[in-house]
Homo-oligomer: A and B are copies of this chain.
Amino acid sequence: MSEEMNRNTEATSFQAAEGITRRLARYLVAARAEDLPQAVRDHATRTFLNWMGCAIGASRHEAVEIAMAALKPFFGPPQATVLGRPEQVDILSAALFNGISSHVFDFDDTHLKTVIHPAGPVASAILALAEYQPVSGAEFLHALALGIETECRIGNAVYPDHYHTGWHITGTAGVFGAAAAAGKLLGLDEQRMCWALGLAATQPVGLREMFGTMTKSFHPGRAAQNGLTAALLAAGGYTSSDQAIEAKRGWANVLSTHRDYREITGELGQRYESLLNSYKPFACGIVIHPVIDGCIQLRKEHGLDAAAVASVSLKVHPLVLELTGKREPRTGLDGKFSVFHSAAVAIIDGRAGEAQYSDAAVRAPVTVSLRDRVSAEIDPELAADAAHITIELVDGQRLEKRVEHAVGSIERPMSDAELEAKFFDLVAPVLGAARADALLQACWHLGEIADVAELARAAA
């Protein structure tokens, strides 16, 4: 009896799932750039600008250097730019390296509902493609928005179960975003768009176990490369499933214990997930941002000095300790996964940029000492962008700060000026101030550019 009920429920759920991949493909093929709401276009521009700043800023990071040196003997023709660097490589390699560099500082954009970093997989794939075939800024922004929509909606459908299972959702859902956006620019018809999504589904990238190693930033890079490969193969007629997302042994059933397909096909072209994308003011996992925000505020308000601090007690959302509970980070990268280190540098430096996550920074005696005085406990009542900080001073004084929405959240978004400052901080050290400024202006005008390849080359 219970088995029969089970079978009935299964039958119903498969019925609801019918045609999800095809409906999504149909939407992607039919969507027109001129119908994209202005607010979505503006958001896509901000997303692109933020992504490019991150990629250029990290373009000399050892993860990028090592990956490029290891694969250099196998590069194809010089077709596309590796952002912030002199090398031109084939477009599939460019997608990989730009995806790596855009995520290696963990400073890129975040779709807070799913913790997907949307730009990495999508923008890395289509900027490379735009250097291979002419793409206007308007088409580019449209494809970027569709790609983000695709990956975030698919992410919504399986979040949080899929993420809790251990998948790095940026790589596993991101591959769909890359395939959809590249497929749009390649002009795929409905059948081929289905195949592109199928070829994407079969190449998910990323286990959360890799967090804290270079392989984490490999995920959006490889997702970009896999999605672009999927679209190119589908364009050539390489066949795949037409129901890769919803089939019994398709992506959603195999990679998640729960799924809600209405998230994928509901209100397509009306509700835009890309409007929920956010940008980070701090160079670390977003879950620590409320703590950093609060510590910086307390530092400013009270002119705090590390030596005066006896203890720092944090109350945080449960994810904070799960994701960033490293007590004794040994490297800069490790430091990004330590709420203790992050609170310490926020109090000491009043910032949490790349400089605060260098190898030297995590080993600085004053930081280590203050870090050891930081404790954290979970408060299940707190929202993901909230935190409560209590600082006891040596003189017995007690300071408190409750952060309801961290800066960079949907409720307290970074302003255009803050985004510009972040871009400049990241790009100027690599390209120089004058070129950084020119590129910044070009990014703001992305939607009006006749050929996006020019913008890519300006970032070399």
Using CB atoms and an 8 Å cutoff, list the residues of chain A in contact with chain B. 63, 66-67, 69-71, 73-77, 79, 90-92, 132, 165-168, 171, 195, 198-199, 201-210, 213-215, 218-219, 222, 229, 232-233, 235-241, 243-244, 247-251, 253-254
Contact = CB atoms under 8 A, between A and B. Distances in A.
Contacts of A214: 238-240
B202 A244 contact: no
Nearest to A219: B202
Given A76-B76, A203-B205, A208-B249, A215 B241 contact: yes
Q: Which of A69, A222, A240 has the most CB of B within 10 A?
A: A240
Contact of A67 (B79, B236, B247, B249): B236
Contacts of A222: 203
A226 to B, nearest CB: 8
Contacts of A239: 213-215
A241 to B, nearest CB: 5
A159 to B, nearest CB: 15
A63 B195 CA distance: 14
B76 A241 contact: no
- The copy count of this chain in the complex is 2
A69 B232 CA distance: 10
B237 A66 contact: yes
A71 B229 contact: yes
Contacts of A241: 207, 209-210, 213, 215
Contacts of A250: 166, 207, 209
Nearest to A68: B236
A218 B238 contact: yes
Contacts of A77: 73-74
Contacts of A166: 248-250, 253-254
Given A76-B75, A76-B76, A209-B241, A215 B199 contact: yes
A64 to B, nearest CB: 10
A171 B199 CA distance: 13
30 contacts: A66-B233, A66-B236, A67-B233, A67-B236, A67-B238, A69-B236, A70-B236, A70-B238, A73-B76, A73-B77, A74-B77, A74-B91, A75-B90, A76-B76, A165-B249, A168-B202, A198-B210, A198-B213, A198-B215, A202-B218, A204-B204, A207-B254, A209-B241, A209-B243, A209-B248, A210-B244, A213-B241, A215-B239, A215-B241, A218-B238
A419 to B, nearest CB: 31
Contact of A247 (B167, B209, B248): B209
